[in-house]
Amino acid sequence: MSAKVKLGTHITSGEQVALKLIDRTKLTPRQTEMLEREIQAMQAVQHPNTLLLRHVEWVAQYPKKRGGFREVVLLVLELGTGGELFDYLMYTGPLGEQVARSYFRQLLSALEVCHSQGVYHRDLKPENLLLDGSFQLKLADFGLAAINCDDHLCATECGTRSYMAPEVMSRQPYDGAKADIWSAGVVLFIMLAGNPPFAQAGGNDWWFTAIRHNRYDKFWMAHLRSAPDFPKLAQEFLNRIFVADSGNRATIEELWQHPWLQGAVLQPQELATAMAQKRQTVQRTKERELAAAKAKKAREKARAGAKGGAYDPFGQQVMRGGPKPPVAEPSGLTYFYTHVDAEFALKRLAQAFTDLEATPVSIKDEDFKVKATLSREAGPLSVVARVLSVDEEGELLILDLERRSGDHLDFVKLVQTELAGLLKDVMEDDADKDEQAASVTGKAAAAAGEEEEEEPIAANATEDVF
C-alpha cells in the first residue's frame, strides 16, 4: 500500500500538519483492513512520544495536477519537522551515550503505553522514529501494528528483517511485546555504534550465532573493533535484550530497573541543542555538494570560453528546450547531481534498473519519474526515481531515489553501489573534493547496515568460536 505525504496548513489556525494520502481506487480488501488497523492503533495510543493522528477522512477529494480530482483516504498527522532519526544516524554517525539514552527512554515509554493498550508496533526502526520541532522523539508508522493478539501471541512475519526478532523470522507464534523489545534494542545499538549489531537474527549470521550460543564475549569482542568506545554498562543492558529465547528476554519493566537506563539523560533543551547541531551538519554537507556541482559547471563554461567557444555539439548530452523537471527538494539523502539532459537522464535511470533485472520498470515522461521493483533476498524492493531541477534555470539536475517499500538496507546498497556504478558517467564528481557521486556515504551504509571493513575474527570463525 503506497501513500503520498504532503505538507498541509490549517486554514483557520495556520498550523502545519502532514497529510497522508492513500488512493482509494487502488486499495485491496487486505490493504483496507491494514489501514483500518493502523488508524485504530494510532487512535488507541495517546502519548507525548507517539505521532498524533489528528483527523481521518475516509472519502476525500484530492486535486490532480492536470485537472480533476482523485478519491483518497486522508490522514491528518502531527508534523515531524525534525525529520527521521535515520537521517541523523546516516549522515552524522553515532549519537553519543546521553543522547541515545534520552531517546531510548522516550521510545521505551511510548512502547509501554502501546503494549498496555494491546498495540504491538512490529516495525521499529530509525526510519519510523521521527523528531518534532523540539527534537523530541515520535514513534510513527503503525502500518504493520497488531492489536489485541490472541493470548498476546502474534503470528504474521512482518517488519524489516534487519530489526526482526529471531522468533518472528522463525514464523512461529510470538509475543508482540518481546518482539518490539528486540527491535528497540537494535535501534539502541545503532544509536551507540553507528552500525547494526547483525545483518539479521537468523540463518548463518555470525554475530547472531554468537548470541544464540550465549557467546556475548565474542559478540562484543568483534564489535569493539569498530566501536571501541561502546559503553560497558550499555553492553550489559543490551545483553538482556539480545536473548534468542524470547521467554528469557527482559520485559520493559525489568529494563527500567537496569543501571544503564538509570543514567544521566539530557533535558529537552539540551537535547534540542545537541540535535540542532547535527542537523546543521547534514544541511551544510548538502549545501557543499550543491556548491561543488555548480562550481564545476562554471569551470566547464569558462574552459569552453577559453577555447573560443568551440565545442563538439555531439560530444555530450546537454539541456534542451521543452518541458523542464520540477524544482523540488530531494525526498531524502539518496540522490545524485547531473548536468545531462533530463530526457537522457530518465532513460539512463530506466536502463540502469533494467540492467539490474528490475521488473516491472515503468517510465512517466510527463512526471520525469521511473518506477521499478527489484528482487532482493529480504523481499521485493520498490523504488521511485525522479529527475528534479535545482533551480528555475534547470541546468543542474538531481536524480532523486526514494524507497517505496522493501528493506532499507537493500535500498542503501542499491544506491551506493549498484546505481552509483551504473550511472557513474552521468553523475557529477569533483576531484578536488570528497566523492560527490552519491549522497549516501560510507557512514550512511554503516548506519543502515553495511559494515564496510569488519570481518569475522577468522575465516572459519563459526568453528573457531562455537
Domain ranges in the chain are: 4-77, 83-266, 315-448
Q: Is the pLDDT of residue 250 over 80?
A: yes
pLDDT tens digit sequence for 208-221:
999 999 999 999 99
Calculate mean pLDDT across residues 339-365. 88
| Greatest Cα pair distance in the chain | 80
What pLDDT was estimated at residue 284?
Answer: 80
What pLDDT was estimated at residue 170?
Answer: 87
Fold of 83-266: Transferase(Phosphotransferase); domain 1 (1.10.510)
What pLDDT was estimated at residue 422?
Answer: 87
What pLDDT was estimated at residue 127?
Answer: 92
Question: For the ranges 48-57, 149-158, 257-266, 426-435, which has the lowest average pLDDT?
Answer: 426-435
Question: For the ranges 148-152, 194-198, 203-207, 281-285, which has the lowest average pLDDT?
Answer: 148-152
Is pLDDT larger for residue 425 or for residue 133? 133
What pLDDT was estimated at residue 391?
Answer: 73
Calculate mean pLDDT across residues 101-118. 96
Q: Is the pLDDT of residue 298 over 80?
A: no
Strands 53-63 and 4-9: unpaired
Is pLDDT larger for residue 456 or for residue 233? 233
The amino acid at 327: V
Task: List active site positions.
Answer: 123
Calculate mean pLDDT across residues 339-348. 85
What pLDDT was estimated at residue 451?
Answer: 36
**Euclidean distance between CA atoms 123 and 120, whole angstroms:** 9
What pLDDT was estimated at residue 177?
Answer: 94
pLDDT tens digit sequence for 422-434:
888 788 654 333 3
Domain covering 4-77 assigned CATH 3.30.200.20 in the classification: yes
Q: Is the pLDDT of residue 444 over 70?
A: no
**Euclidean distance between CA atoms 420 and 257, whole angstroms:** 47
pLDDT tens digit sequence for 44-102:
999 999 999 999 999 999 998 888 898 999 999 999 999 899 888 888 889 999 999 99
**Euclidean distance between CA atoms 134 and 159, whole angstroms:** 28
What pLDDT was estimated at residue 393?
Answer: 60
Question: For the ranges 126-135, 190-199, 220-229, 335-344, which has the lowest average pLDDT?
Answer: 335-344
**E strand intervals along 307-422:** 335-338, 361-364, 369-374, 381-389, 397-405
Note if the pTM is more than 0.75: no
Question: For the ranges 4-13, 52-61, 197-206, 388-397, which has the lowest average pLDDT?
Answer: 388-397
Question: How far from chain centre, in Å, is Cα 446?
Answer: 13
Cβ count within 10 A of residue 378: 16
Calculate mean pLDDT across residues 342-351. 88
Is pLDDT larger for residue 427 or for residue 315? 427
How many residues does this entry show for the chain?
466
Pick the CATH number of 315-448 from 3.50.30.20, 3.40.50.970, 2.40.37.10, 3.30.310.80: 3.30.310.80
Percentage of residues of the chain with pLDDT beyond 90: 50
What pLDDT was estimated at residue 136?
Answer: 97
Instruction: Return all residues near 150 (Cβ < 8 A) that are at least 6 apart.
Output: none
Cis amide prior to 360 (ω within 30 degrees): yes
What pLDDT was estimated at residue 434?
Answer: 36
What pLDDT was estimated at residue 303?
Answer: 66
Residue 58 in grid coordinates: 475516509
**Euclidean distance between CA atoms 148 and 177, whole angstroms:** 11
